[in-house]
Each structure stands twice: as C-alpha cells, then as structure tokens.
Copies of this chain bind each other. A is one copy, B any other.
Amino acid sequence: MIEQPAPRSPTLEDVARVAGVSRSTVSRVINGVRNVDRELQETVRSAVAETGYVPNQAARSLVTKRTGSVALVVSEAEHRTFDDPFLGRVFTDPFFGRLVSGIFGELRPRRVNLMLMLTETDEARNQLVDYLRQGHVDGVMIISTHADDPLPRLLTESGLPAVLSRRPSRPMPISYVDADQQAGAALAAECLAARGCKRVATISGPMDMPASRERLDGFREAMARHGHAFIPSAEGNFTQESGERAVAELLAQYPDIDGLFAANDLMAQGALLALHDRGIAVPGRVAVVGFDDSSAAKACRPPLTTVHQPIEDMAAEMARLLLAHIEDRQLRATARIFEPTLVVRGSA
C-alpha cells in the first residue's frame, strides 16, 4: 500500500480537472449561472459528486463579502441578583423559544444561518460590534430589553444592516418591529372594567424596560378612561417568583383588590399561585389578566386570560426586514407595529 497523499479536501480546481473544464465553468454551474451548456453542466455535476466537493465558505465570502448568516443578539443589562442566578434569563422565558421559532421559519427556506450571541456587559457590547464588523454575519437582529442599552446606537453607527425588536428608546434610523404595548394593556383594562372590577392593581415589569413602562402607562390610561384615577402597582422582573412577591406586596397594602393585570404571563402565573395559596378565588374574588399568551397561560389554573402578542409573526417580520436591508443597503428604516388581541380564558 502506498502512502496516501494529504487528505486535502477537493477544490474547484480539482473538480475542474476531473470534469476537463475550467475553474470558472465549475463555479458557474455551482452557483447556478445559466450560461452553461447542458451537457457540460452534467459533466461538472458528476465531477462534483465524484470528488465530493463542497465550496469553501471562507474563500467565497472573501470575494463576495457575504456570509449567508445573520446574528440574533440578545442584549441584556448586567444584573445578576439573587433570583436571577445565571446568564441569559431570556433564554428560559418561553418568549424566547417562540421568537427563535419565528425567525427560523423565515431564515431556513432561504438557507440563511443564525448566529446566537449574548451581551450583558458594555465591554461585551463593544467587542460584539468589532466582531460583527469583521464580517462574520451579514446583518443583525437585536433583542434589547433595556431602555438605556447602547447597542442599538452602536450598531446603527456601524452601518451594518440591523433590525431592532422594539421601538428604539430615542429616535434613530433603524428598522424595528414592535407590538402596540399600550393598546395591548388597554385591552386588559377593558376586560377588567367590563367585568365590573372596582379595585384594580397591576404588576409591572422592570421600569427600566420600555415595554414595561408602556404597558403600565397604557393600562393606567385606559383605566382612567373608565373612571379609575389610581391604580396601585408593584414592580416585578418578569419571572414567576417576582409575580408571587408582587401579589404579596399588593395584598398587604390593598387587601380588597378585585382585579389584577400582570405585565407578562409568567408573573401572572406567579400571581395565580400566590392567590391560590391564600385561598383567594380566581376569577371569583380577583380577576387576573396576563400579557404574552405564552405557553404558561395554558398551564395555569384557571387558564389565563391574557393579551396575545403574535411573537412568531413579529419575529418572522423582523427576519424579513433584515433580509430586505441586506438585499438593499439603501432601504430606509421601517417600522412594523403589530396589534395585540385579548384571549379570554378562565382567569378574567
């Protein structure tokens, strides 16, 4: 047996030699350019099969300046607290899974790949921008939760195609997708008002997140329209545990609450649990409305009446927008706002 030659993987050149044509012809066949003779196409194809050729992505990117990948960046504030032990709490929220699903639905058919990135510190954010500028990806979707997150601006300035998962805190030329948070919260208010609730309270999300503020404002405004001047609130952090805690606080101050709006389903679930532990009937004594219509909503007793956000659709739209920006670098910033709807189940 003779020593094998180095197991170098086949290149275009190798295929060309086997097919008896030039490198460019092989390249044309592979990239589906029409101007190639039928017969030659076949010859080339079998040469490809014979050699087991696959194109080298690095070489290709080097000349096309395209990678065929986009990034999904989850940008969080750096806050590791007692109830927030590990990095990337987002990942464990059912919200995230739906988001990824929606994105994949759009990306996969186009054979675009997804890079998942997480930044929690300013240092990481700066590194990230550098990294992205190295041309690892063609564009970025940013899931940014905090109002003062510098990342949207950094990326806008970098000139890389980017789409944001919410309205930017300050006006900037970046495309984004969002749900009408205020309208959604108003839906919850209408529901509670329609039931005749008189003493309504709310569990808000962290006040440094725009979505939390908007839901709180939207809820209060809508309740005000129904004559409720004051709506007490307790702040949670979108986890189930924080929902339990918040209810405890609220009940301590206002024991006769008869309606409750939680800014997401996980907290609403926590609220339901806490209410149940205290023997308070839902919706009999307290009606509860959540937000998100996540999987948690159906896992509750009673099942949660909640505000539905079309997360998958929003995520898909985010992906489409990004792809459009990559295709046309001149495309101007666009906003897509989705309307939430109320899903009535058992809790209100």
Query: What residues of chain A have their CB less than 8 Å away from a CB belonging to chain B?
Result: 9, 54-59, 61-62, 65, 67, 69, 72, 86-88, 90-94, 96-98, 100-101, 104-105, 108, 111, 113-118, 124, 127, 130-131, 133-136, 240-241, 269-270, 273, 276-277, 295-296, 298-299, 301, 312
Contacts and interface: CB of A to CB of B under 8 A. Distances in A.
A185 to B, nearest CB: 24
A57 B136 contact: yes
A131 B295 CA distance: 33
A55 B133 CA distance: 9
A96 B100 CA distance: 12
The A interface is mostly helix, strand or loop, or mixed, namely helix
Contact of A56 (B55, B92, B97, B134): B134
A134 B55 contact: yes
B118 A116 contact: no
Nearest to A134: B57
Contacts of A105: 86-87
Contacts of A134: 54-57
Contacts of A299: 240, 269-270, 273, 296, 299
Nearest to A66: B58
A97 B117 CA distance: 13
